[in-house]
């Protein structure tokens, strides 16, 4: 039976895609038949008059997944706002059933699926039964656990603890934390200690801040994935 996990972040732009790409690459390299799924993406680029979901493209490129983007990301919007607002602006409402059906279809082909959330955990996705339907509603309905990506930078203690408490409050199980954009400074080291001390959640890996000018950005992420993560440990997080 296919196992899955949701990668969620303390904020948008925290590094969910970079970390997910690194994890999907590592699992596939180690022989685990793994795919990527992102239910809704906003801020897509237009290439040859076609909307291209940047996160999906990045993960496919780095990990070698060969699937149509629309099968991995059913809802793609140009406007760089929450999926719910983008769906209103672009008049293309999100049907949660379509998200679940597409995910089920992928399960027929893959043993492991790593899903990437949109934005932070309280990211509006849709409007169901007169209520805003957020990312956490979707994760609960899909009966999945999460790995939380957080940064090592200033402000992370507040963002991380708030996100952990919220997830615990809504009954979503956190299988581990991944710290991103790490630099060997007193601030980053203390942030990691504080997050460990305050959450008691296992740290699955610490991804360094990669030089933005690095020509070989993808190659560097691949190299780091093997140093930072243990594939067996990531697989153990999935159910
Ligand atoms: N460890 C890192 N080192 C250097 N740059 C990074 C690192 N992690 C992320 N970035 C950069 O930060 C930006 C945001 O990262 P990313 O796209 O992974 O965030 P995200 O959480 O997936 O955002 P979204 O909410 O839009 O999905 C990207 O330009 C990415 O290349
Ligand atoms: Mg992303």
pLDDT tens-digit readout, 130-142: 999 999 999 999 9
Q: How far is the CA of 142 from the centre of ligand 2 (A)?
A: 20
Cα 68 vs. chain centroid, distance in angstroms? 19
Ligand 1 neighbourhood includes 175 CB (under 6 angstroms): no
Angle (nearest 5°) at CA 62 between 134 and 86:
30
Q: What is the mean pLDDT of residues 223-235?
A: 98
Does the structure show a pLDDT above 90 at 214? no
Does residue 16 sit within a domain? yes
Query: Residue 126's closest CA among 173, 164, 75?
Result: 75
Domain that holds residue 7: 3-229
Residues forming beta bridges with residue 205, ordered by sequence position: 178
User: Tokens in use for 72?
Assistant: 């991995």
Does residue 127 sit within a domain? yes
Does residue 19 sit within a domain? yes
Nearest-CA residue for ligand 1 atom 5 is 210
pTM over the 0.85 mark: yes
175 is catalytic: no
Catalytic entry in 3, 16, 38, 175: 38
Res. 215 pLDDT band, cuts 50 70 90: confident
Res. 182 pLDDT band, cuts 50 70 90: very high
Looking at the 3D structure of the chain, how many domains does it have?
Answer: 1
Does the structure show a pLDDT above 90 at 213? no
Res. 128 pLDDT band, cuts 50 70 90: confident
The ligand minimizing its distance to the Cα of 188 is 1
Helices (H), the chain: 16-29, 54-63, 69-72, 83-89, 96-107, 135-141, 156-169, 186-199, 217-228, 231-236
Residue 73 sits in a domain of what CATH number? 3.40.50.300
**For residue 11, what are the contacts with CB-CB under 8 A and spacing of at least 6?**
119, 120, 159
Does residue 214 sit within a domain? yes
Q: So what's the pLDDT on residue 126? A: 96
Span 45-103, pLDDT tens digits: 999 999 999 999 999 999 999 999 999 999 999 999 999 999 999 999 999 999 999 99
């Amino acid at each position: 039976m296919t196992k899955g996990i949701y990668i969620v972040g303390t904020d948008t732009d925290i590094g969910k895609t970079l970390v997910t790409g690194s994890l999907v690459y590592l699992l596939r390299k180690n022989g685990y038949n793994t795919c990527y799924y992102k239910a809704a993406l906003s801020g897509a680029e237009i290439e040859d008059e076609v909307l291209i979901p940047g996160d999906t493209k990045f993960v496919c490129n780095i990990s070698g997944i060969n699937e149509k983007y629309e099968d991995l990301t059913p809802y793609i919007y140009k406007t760089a706002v929450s999926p719910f607002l983008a769906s209103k602006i672009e008049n293309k409402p999100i049907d949660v059933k379509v998200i679940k059906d597409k995910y089920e279809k992928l399960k027929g082909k893959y043993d492991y699926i790593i899903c990437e959330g949109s934005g932070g955990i309280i990211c509006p996705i849709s409007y169901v039964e007169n209520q805003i339907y957020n990312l956490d509603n979707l994760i609960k309905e899909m009966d999945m656990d999460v790995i939380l990506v957080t940064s090592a930078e200033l402000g992370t203690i507040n963002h991380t603890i708030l996100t952990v408490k919220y997830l615990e409050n809504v009954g979503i199980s956190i299988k581990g934390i991944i710290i991103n954009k790490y630099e060997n400074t007193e601030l980053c080291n203390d942030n990691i200690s504080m997050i460990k001390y305050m959450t008691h959640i296992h740290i699955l890996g610490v991804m360094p801040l990669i030089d933005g000018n690095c020509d070989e950005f993808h190659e560097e992420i691949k190299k780091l994935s093997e140093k930072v993560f243990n594939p067996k440990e990531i697989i153990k997080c999935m159910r």
